[in-house]
Structure 1
Amino acid sequence: MTYLKKYVYPWFVDMASFASIIGLIIAFVSDDRAVFIALVTFCLVLLILLFASLFAVNRVILRNYPVEYKKISSFFIFQCDDGVHSTFETYRLIQCKRPLLTELEYNYRWSGSISPKISSENQRIEELACRTDDNYHTAIIKFKKPLTFNESAVLHIKTSNDDAKGDALPYLSCKIDTPIDIMQFRVLLAYKPDDYSRQAYVRRRKINASKEEPLFV
């Protein structure tokens, strides 16, 4: 409430002063014009107070939730049937932390030299140019229907990868910059023989760490 008063109360004070001035003016005009001026003033004050209330609510949301959405769970599926062509699918459950969310930015990276193709079953995707500073590709995920505050949605992102030159690195990576409850990886390698069996390792490194720093198991 203190935070709301900080942004809403000054508007009430200003509108009260404005209404007092209008009331003084009305005393010197005819009745017909007085009714018109009073109606316009009432509508104007109502709109300004509504705007102030929405502004205050938005400021409270931004203070409590610095990011646009909360990541609840992520499921990753990497599938390769021939050792060259592969797909990497992401299913991510998110919860909106803005009054209205129409799109969000999604960053992904493929270590191969041939750029992947990105698609989605649930959202519309606008692909942007690759950033040269960290080799991340950026895509704008646009919702078919805008999300409202605390509304949940499942993001689906699929990249189709081509490693014809054989220079892709043999690992999966995921950047975690906000808390998340559940993460799950599935790696499906159909081209491997039936007796193929190797232990998988999960390792972590700080986001701002250099590539030379060791990974932690």
Structure 2
Amino acid sequence: MSLSSMAEDSALRLRGTPGASPQTAAATAAAVTAEQMAKGAPPDDAKIAGELAARTNAGTSVTGSVLTQLVKYVPTETISIYLAVQAALGTVSAPPGARECDANYTSRWVWLALLGVATVLLTLGLAYRSQKQVAPAARFKVPLVEPAAATAAYLVWTLSLPTTPLKDYCSYDATAWGPVILLAGTTLIATTAYVFGKTVTWEKVLMDAERQPK
């Protein structure tokens, strides 16, 4: 999900926009969606797979707001920039005869940290703009959930990549632990946001013009 869309959600949530509370916990959907993402499926495809699994196994309709928690906090802008720069920097090479963990990963750690800070600042800046669009005269309410969740999701996704700077640690196996970090981290973020009710749900409201007979 883009940071601008996340900012709009936070503006609606903090400004008290009414919505219907989700009633069903999508445990099956969360597990299947996170599993699909760990296998490399695009977020939208993973979400659809989770929804279908929940409906098939539970025989019920799962509210969209629960499912979207698995991907809504992933900051697509900063992750895209991170991937582009990682590709430009190339593969980290160890000195001849040395182990992979003996290579210099300093630039990767610095870049990871800089984009983490950028994620927080972008989320706050876009939240300010979105809140002013919803309520121009109201005082800005600093969102805490969205910046924290977006940064956590950014770290989860970047650290789970095959090019992760965690290879700096000789005991770390990227192939084995990358999917674990992605699955556990994404599910934890989604579950925490859902449990504490930090979601925006939508309900259709008929306008006066629609209620009048034609």
Q: Same fold (TM over 0.5)?
A: no
**Which is helix-richer, 1 or 2?**
2
State the TM-score, normalizing by the size of structure 1. 0.23
Q: Give the number of the structure with larger relative contact order, counting CA–CA contacts within 8 Å between residues 6 or more apart.
A: 2
TM-score (norm 2): 0.23
Structure with bigger gyration radius: 1
